[in-house]
Amino acid sequence: IIIICQLFFIIWKPFLPEKLEQVPFFYYGHRGALNLAPENTIRSFQLAIDSHLDGIELDVQLTKDSHLVVYHDESVEYKNISMKIKELTLEQTNTIDVKNKFKDLPFQNIPLLEDVIKILPDDMILNIEIKSYGANQFSGLEKLLIDLIAKYSIEDQVIISSFNPYIIKKIKALNNSIATAFIWSLQSYYSYKLSLYYSKPDAFHVNINDIDQQMIDWLNKKDLKIYAYTINTKPDL
């Protein structure tokens, strides 16, 4: 009974960084400016910053030697072998060129999250998605991330997001003054309503193709802001 009450009857008050609250329609640079430069690279993030977007979104994972790096996929090609990021050290990831289709560019490395934070303007929001592959919520990534945010005093510029509600709940347990967002699509393993009740985030990030009016009405009643992703066409906009 206590668990059910905690899930369904404890009301939470969502909050977001001030700029997210002020801007009526918020534009993120998804993995930077991925049509102009290799995604999730310093070059891509700098181009997004130079384009005066409201914020940048990126993906964070933990290397074998516990460094927070910015990379989307679970695995990467290392010396012609597909290896998981968590199986590689920072020294190894630094040897991987991720320029992909941008063949004319010089070497593009997988950046540290800290290097992205160093170029983040004071008036820009940083959406940090914690990648969830398997049971990595027990890896200690969340504590390292919270400590890094505190080091640079950017708590009011950050929103931490994940498809995994357990990760969102853990972030809130570590520091409930940092805004969080639960990410969801129809392909997710979790019910969005149950996950929201469980993790009590401050926003809901959803695939543009999976939104309907019933969902919007329900989220509005919970006072949860909706941020749709993968908007690539004017009709979607």
Which of 30, 52, 67, 205 is an active site residue? 30
> By the 8 A CB rule, do 8 and 197 touch?
yes
In angstroms and rounded to an integer, the radius of gyration of the C-alpha atoms of the chain is 18
Q: Are strands 179-184 and 203-207 parallel, antiparallel or unpaired?
A: parallel
- Residue 43's Cβ-side half-sphere holds a number of Cα atoms within 13 Å equal to 16
Query: Nearest-CA neighbor of 145 among 121, 166, 127?
Result: 127
For this structure, is 67 an active site residue? no
What's the distance, CA 43 to chain centroid? 18
The pair phi, psi for residue 190, each rounded to 5°, is: -110, 150
- Which position among 52, 67, 72, 205 bears the catalytic label? 72
Q: State the DSSP string of 93-115.
A: HTT----TT-TTS---PPPBHHH
The two beta strands, 125-130 and 225-229, are unpaired
Sign of CA dihedral 232, 39, 41, 182: positive
- Angstrom distance (rounded) from CA 102 to CA 222: 43
- Residue 205 is a catalytic residue: no
Cα–Cα distance, 164 to 129 (Å, whole number): 10
Cα angle vertex 176, ends 175, 180, to 5°?
100
Active site residues: 30, 72
